[in-house]
Amino acid sequence: MPTETVPGPEKVRFDRVTKRFGDQTVLDGLDLAVAPGERVTLIGPSGSGKTTILRLLMTLERVTDGVVHVDGEPFSHMPSGPGGKLVPADERYLAPRRRRVGMVFQQFNLFPHLSVLANVTEAPRHVLGLDADEAAARARDLLGLVGLADKEDAHPTRLSGGQQQRVAIARALAMRPELLLLDEVTSALDPELVAEVLDVLRDVAAGTDITMLCVTHEMAFARDVSDRLLMFDRGRVLESGPPGKLLDAPEHERTREFLRSIR
Ligand code: ADP
């Protein structure tokens, strides 16, 4: 099993991370580092632990064992007491750190009772404390970026799935995250709506230096935006490499089998 390292500073590091649900081991002593600005795509069969990695970074789940670091400091844990012993992070420690992480989910999870603009301004106003004008200006820029400048007053239920997902992308970016997590963001969309969302994400990837971790089955997208692909199998990285290598010349039969299954 390769240990995934990067040469310079690390944006993210999983240090022997194990995650169990009951007696099921979903991640098994995972070592994984991601460099600042790097785009890493996680591929592999359903149930291999990919989404769990993103959920640990969103603090939607807690590690069973091991430590997650972000920007060289503990994230799943915090130093405590005179010796700086690591203990599970509490809410006060996590809150400011979690703000640096944005996530876009498979189900867009927009607030249905709020307009598009209010969906995008909500967290910048209430979490970052921006005033209404600043938050609206930021939101309008981002709605322009995702091609929805004319929809700011619409309610999410009036939008197509692709439009809703583009609002969700604008909403995540409005917090100016340093780390953007994309969890199968096109899986819930009708096929004809997939391209518009992936095009927006290609623009985001090309126009920013946000570190990105994606879980996707869209291999053409993965090939375009990723610096590195990781093939997961049963909670471990089976193989990794630049997309050209992993997709065109995979080393493992498991990887070949997986790629055949989704093509
Ligand atoms: P992937 O993203 O690769 O499909 P996941 O990380 O979603 O895999 O899930 C890995 C395994 O963990 C699956 O078998 C799933 O059923 C299990 N799992 C994920 N979340 C939970 C949970 N909250 N409670 C119990 N089991 C879970």
pTM over 0.80: yes
Query: Each residue's pLDDT tens digit in the chain (263 positions)?
Result: 556 788 878 999 999 999 999 999 999 999 999 999 999 999 999 999 999 999 999 999 999 999 999 999 999 999 998 999 999 999 999 999 999 999 999 888 899 999 999 999 999 999 999 999 999 999 999 999 999 999 999 999 999 999 999 999 999 999 999 999 999 999 989 988 999 999 999 999 999 999 999 999 999 899 999 999 999 999 899 999 999 999 999 999 999 999 999 87
Atom of ligand 1 nearest to the CA of 48: 3
Mutate to test the pocket of ligand 1, among 21, 57, 183, 213 (most ligand atoms within 8 A of CB): 21
pLDDT the model gives residue 6: 81
Q: Is 47 in the pocket of ligand 1 (CB under 6 A)?
A: yes
Task: Tell me the C-alpha distance between 71 and 228, whole Å.
Answer: 19
**CA distance linking residue 13 with residue 223, whole number of Å:** 23
What is the 49 CA–ligand 1 centroid distance (Å)?
6
**CA 88 to each of CA 14, 100, 156, 195: distance values in angstroms, whole numbers, following the listed order:** 15, 19, 37, 40
Measured by CA distance, the residue closest to atom 16 of ligand 1 is 47
Residue nearest to atom 27 of ligand 1 (CA): 21
Question: Is 26's C-beta closer than 6 angstroms to any atom of ligand 1?
Answer: yes
Instruction: Give residue 233 CA to ligand 1 midpoint distance, Å.
Output: 13
Write phi, then psi, for 69 (nearest 5 degrees): -115, 145
What is d(CA 13, CA 6) in angstroms, rounded to the nearest whole number? 10
Residue located nearest, by CA, to atom 21 of ligand 1: 21
Identify the pLDDT of residue 5.
81
ipTM of the modeled complex: 0.97
